[in-house]
Amino acid sequence: MSVPSAPAVCLLSGGMDSAVTLAEAKAAGFAPYALSFRYGQRHAHELEAASRVAHALGAVEHRVAALDFDKLADSALTGSEEVPKDRDEADIGAGVPPTYVPARNTVFLAVALGWAESLGATDLFLGVNAIDYSGYPDCRPEFLRAFEDLAAVATAAGVEGSRFRIHAPLVEMTKREIVLRAEELGVDLGLTHTCYDPREEDGRVLACGRCDACALRLKGFREAERADPIPYATSAEPSR
């Protein structure tokens, strides 16, 4: 007889980090419930990638919650500012970049917490990364601990004694380590989408190769000595 897996809510953006995080949740023995958001992001390709990843990795369920965040918060990711390009690697992670969406992970985790409580789950997985990260305050371990403390007093389950845990298995990993961990866990990174500013050509989605997200991803593959399976716009290739 097998013990039924405990449910866990996994935030799934469609990017590389959240895909590996979902695979980590499964490897740790949880039954993953994947949650994505439609929040006015320019890169709607993310949601298609999230759906591919949830299916490929065997999520129990994949839900997409809509939130019209773009009406409230100004950010390059929701269309009101330019996505920065060709930044020096040293500048990525120094200060908060214009792609920061105010309180985004707080909102995402809050909604995930509501779903978790409805499911009877006390485990949440989030693919944040504080090493090769992009300078977002809500990707740091102190944010995750503060959210756990909040969940303990914010929910009926918490008041009744359950302790919610925010798992961020990649938080201390470099992008290089994430690429290699994907390989170990059998995650096909060709299904993921990372670029903040993609374009379509002949029905294919091409990553720009120049935004902060592409730069960090490409650095990870380069340092892991692996080829990135996704297609990039030609103009980005010469520099790689």
Which of 45, 62, 104, 176 contacts a second copy by CB under 8 A?
104
The whole-angstrom separation of Cα 213 and Cα 205 is 15
For the bound state, the minimum distance from the C-beta of residue 116 to a second copy, rounded and expressed in Å, comes to 8
Beta carbons of 221 and 179 less than 8 angstroms apart: yes
Which of 27, 111, 131, 185 contacts a second copy by CB under 8 A?
111
Interface with a second copy, residue 103, by CB under 8 A: yes
* Region of 81-89, 154-162, 194-202, 213-221 interacting with a second copy (CB under 8 A): 154-162
Which residues, 28 to 67, sit near a second copy by CB under 8 A?
35, 63, 65-67
The whole-angstrom separation of Cα 48 and Cα 149 is 33
Q: Which of 105, 52, 77 is nearest to 213 (CA)?
A: 77
DSSP codes, 164-188: -EEE-TTTT--HHHHHHHHHHHT--
Which of 27, 87, 102, 174 contacts a second copy by CB under 8 A?
102
Beta carbons of 175 and 132 less than 8 angstroms apart: yes
Which of 82, 88, 142, 225 contacts a second copy by CB under 8 A?
142
Which residues, 81 to 100, sit near a second copy by CB under 8 A?
96, 100
Cβ-proximal residues to 214 (8 Å cutoff; 6+ apart), any chain? 194, 195, 196, 207, 208, 232, 236
Tell me which residues touch a second copy (CB under 8 A).
35, 63, 65-69, 71-74, 96, 100-107, 109-111, 113-118, 137-138, 140, 142-143, 146-147, 149-156, 158-159
